Amino acid sequence: MSTQGPYLAEIAHLMGDPARANMLHALMDGRALTAKELAWIAGVAPQTASGHLAKLMQGNLIDVAVQGRHRYYRLAGPEVATALEGLMVLANLEGTSRRLPSRVGAELSQARTCYDHFAGRLGIGIHDALMAGGHLAASEGGYALTASGKAIFGALGLDPDATARSRRAALRPCLDWSERRPHLAGHLAASLACRCFEMDWVRRRKDSRAVILTEEGRGMLEAALPGFRCDTPEPVSPAVRERAPALA
pLDDT in tens, 22-75: 888 888 877 788 898 889 888 899 899 999 999 999 989 999 988 888 888 988
Reference 103, options 207, 210, 31, 25; nearest CA is 210
Assign residue 64 a region (left: φ > 0; alpha: ψ between -120 and 50; beta: otherwise).
Answer: beta
pTM above 0.75, yes or no: no
Alpha-carbon distance of 148 to 50, in angstroms, equals: 49
More confident residue, 128 or 207: 128
pLDDT tens digits for 123-133? 999 999 999 99
Backbone angles phi, psi at 210, to 5 degrees: -65, 145
Lowest-pLDDT choice from 29-38, 151-160, 199-208: 29-38
Q: Domains of the chain (ranges plus CATH)?
A: 8-76 (1.10.10.10), 80-224 (no CATH)
pLDDT above 90 as % of the chain = 36
- SS3 per-residue string spanning 224-245: HCCCCCCCCCCCCCHHHHHHCC
Name the β-bridge partners of 114. Answer: 117
